[in-house]
Structure 1
Amino acid sequence: MNSTTISSQVIWPLVVYSLAVFVLIALMLGLSYVLGQRRHEKATDEPYESGIVSQGSARLRLSVSYYLVAILFIVFDLEAIYLFSWSIAFRETGVEGFIEAAIFIAILLAGLIYLWRLGALDWGGRQLSLQSSDTTQRQ
């Protein structure tokens, strides 16, 4: 077999899949146009959630602590994924991999203790009080 035959055999399923996707998209758009609603009422262009027209501004002001906890969740979640993948490859990594993972966990634990002491994990009361305690000590 030459390279042209091999490349056409490899590309053929991709071409069929792409055509099937485009036909499906065209079918869904066509059916929604034919079967879709023709009326245009006042509330049609208004944003709503769960069938309830919203009242007030959509620009809700959230506390910085909300975003801080969200970012911390993402960081620790990604590290949990890393540790899960390490646990799957535990036999292949051997003792060196175990030592590296233990160091990684120790660094994570140190970061978590730092954030806990800083107050970043508190939802109420003192939050990020390290800066405020420095100011009170100076006075």
Structure 2
Amino acid sequence: MNFIFLVVAFLTAIVLVTAAIVIAKLISPRSYNPQKMEAYECGIPTRGKSWMQFRVGYYLFAILFLMFEVETVFLFPWAVIARELGTGGIISILFFFIILVLGLAYAWRKGALEWK
């Protein structure tokens, strides 16, 4: 019985997503011009080539920032119920901190946090 529900839910999801994509393609406005394909930032016309290569260090730094930012967001729910968790909660959050610090130490050791 649970398997049938899972299959029906999966098929319904596929049909709804496919229908949404098809309807969007059918009713979306179509106007193609060269100006639409230009890079746009803050209303300022671009100078030089729009497609230029950025250093990987910027992306790596941004990914590391997002990764540690998301991990610290997990601390808020823990902080709200810290007293109710007792010793097990303290041990689990210490384990979380150890993993977080090891990840930071690894990124630091590999030089991912240095601007060159």
TM-score calculated relative to the size of structure 1: 0.51
Paired position in structure 1 for 2:103:
111
Change (3 A) 1:59 1:44: closer
Paired position in structure 2 for 1:10:
none
Cα deviation for residue 68 of structure 1 reads: 0.6
Cα deviation for residue 57 of structure 1 reads: 2.3
Q: Rg bigger for which structure? A: 1
CA distance in 2, matches of 1:113, 1:57: 38
CA distance in 2, matches of 1:74, 1:117: 19
Determine if contact 1:65/1:123 at 8 Å carries over to the other structure.
yes
Q: Which amino acid aligns with 1:91?
A: R
Q: Number of matched residues?
A: 82
> 2:47 aligns to what SS in structure 1?
coil
How is 1:8-23 mapped onto 2 (pairs within 5 angstroms)? none
Change (3 A) 1:96 1:59: same
CA distance in 2, matches of 1:44, 1:99: 55
Q: Residue deviations 1:56-87, cap 9 Å, x none?
A: 22212111111111110111001100012211
Matched, 1:62 2:54: yes
Determine if contact 2:107/2:113 at 8 Å carries over to the other structure.
yes
Q: Residue deviations 1:1-46, cap 9 Å, x none?
A: xxxxxxxxxxxxxxxxxxxxxxxxxxxxxxxxxxxxxxxxxx8997
Candidates 87, 93, 112, aligned match of 1:95: 87
CA distance in 2, matches of 1:44, 1:111: 42
Determine if contact 2:57/2:112 at 8 Å carries over to the other structure.
yes
Determine if contact 2:61/2:112 at 8 Å carries over to the other structure.
yes
Determine if contact 1:90/1:97 at 8 Å carries over to the other structure.
yes
Unaligned 5+ runs, structure 2: 1-34
TM-score calculated relative to the size of structure 2: 0.61
CA distance in 2, matches of 1:62, 1:45: 20
CA distance in 1, matches of 2:39, 2:102: 45
How is 1:18-29 mapped onto 2 (pairs within 5 angstroms)? none
Unaligned 5+ runs, structure 1: 1-42, 125-139
